[in-house]
Amino acid sequence: MRRRRDNPVKRINPSGKVVWIARYTDKRGRRRIAKPPWNNGKGTFDREYKAQEAIDWAYEQEDRPESQTVGGYFATWSEIHPRSERTNETNEHRISRLLDIEVEGVPFRDWELRDLRRRHVHVLVDAMLRQQGRAQTGAVNILRSLSAMCEDAITDEKADFNPVKGVKVRANDPRIRKSRRQVRVFTFEQMHAFAVAAREAWLAGHPGRPDYAPLVEAVVRTFCDTGGRLGEILPLRRGDLKGHVFEIRRTAHEGTILEGTKTDHGDGTAGRTAPCPPTLERMIRALPPRIDTDLLFPTSRGKLWRERNFYRDIWHPAQGEAGLDIRPHEMRHSYVTYLRVAGINDADLAQVTGHTLETMIGRYSHALGRSFGDIRRLIG
């Protein structure tokens, strides 16, 4: 550690106020002013000892391993530590929402990774809840992405520890103004009627392609009859329906098919199987064969659906035709909820949906309010 030979410089402002300048000499012999983040990036102090602390801080910055700003590391993070394309996009989208938040007077992007402390993360949480109006889930997801970046920064020796670790956002936090979106549960009758509406909407909007209408009904019905995710159903191939079950092995995102599915156990590459109900199986078996693609539910031109196009051409018209604002993932929630009520074994259902038992019960099961009569009768 170098010897502290520099002392603060005393100055008197025109107003007569005495201030201290944290001027020091860097390793190259240049005279500089220490501007630590904890002084809002300023090099002027009201107390001499504070200016001396800033000088000492500046020496420590030069003596320790090379650091990097949050913004600088974020710019190349996904290239240095690549994840799936979808995960990279999600992480970049989330963290970008934090970069312009001021933390102790300095934009978060300009903070050195080594200088970040847990109190600074709490400032970010406060801004997300009060200024940006985020729900608890949104804030938690952003913190998860930030935590992943900090862990990688430790690996790259750009940070000493993860300041996000241990920071929580409670559901009853009074700063939360935006409620978590409530998941609605629909009956199988409602969902099947929605699939019929999708077919009718296609016929009305594409009178020249009535041959494609049965596929539209079948793909929408697959959501409610298998509990599959959008990214799992779009890349299904004809060969994935084997006997009476679907073999779900792939995920699609923005026109790209990736091996593996999103699960809560392991690395997501094992996939899973899901039973295909008789009516849906007959619909699929009756679809005219195509020689231009092996996809089970291709576009009318034989291509893989992109999510936004699928919503535009099939889902949104079906919502208008049915007068039902249902979302694909709500069909998944409904699937789990009603099958549990029907007495399907929880472990089997978790295996079918590709979740751990705890996740399936905690997130995908919802009260239907049908047990009140049974409770009254049992108690007497």
**Coil, strand, or helix at residue 274?**
strand
The per-residue pLDDT for 85 is: 76
For residue 335, the one-letter residue type is: Y
For residue 58, the one-letter residue type is: A
Contacts of 231 (CB under 8 A, 6+ apart): 251, 252, 253, 262, 307
How many residues are recorded in the chain?
380
Q: Compute the average pLDDT of residues 90-104.
A: 94
The per-residue pLDDT for 205 is: 94
State how far the Cα of 366 lies from the Cα of 379, in Å rounded to an integer. Answer: 23
Q: Is the pLDDT of residue 97 over 70?
A: yes
Lowest mean pLDDT among 3-17, 117-131, 281-295: 3-17
**Taking a C-beta distance cutoff of 8 angstroms, is the pair 221, 280 a contact?**
yes
**Structure-token pair, residue 379:** 């108690």
The per-residue pLDDT for 266 is: 39
Band of pLDDT at residue 108, cut at 50, 70 and 90: very high
Q: Compute the average pLDDT of residues 303-317.
A: 93
Report pLDDT digits (tens) over 241-288. Answer: 998 999 998 888 777 888 777 553 334 445 788 899 999 999 999 998
**Fold designation for 188-363:** hpI Integrase; Chain A (1.10.443)
Of all residues in the chain, what percent are helix, strand and coil, respectively (each to 5)?
Answer: 50, 10, 40
The per-residue pLDDT for 367 is: 57
The Cβ-side half-sphere exposure at 251, using a 13 Å CA radius, reads 18
The per-residue pLDDT for 267 is: 41
Segments making up each domain of the chain, as ranges: 9-63, 70-155, 188-363
State how far the Cα of 202 lies from the Cα of 196, in Å rounded to an integer. Answer: 10
**Taking a C-beta distance cutoff of 8 angstroms, is the pair 269, 262 a contact?**
no
String of b and e for 264-273 (b: at least 16 CB within 10 Å)? eeeebeebbb
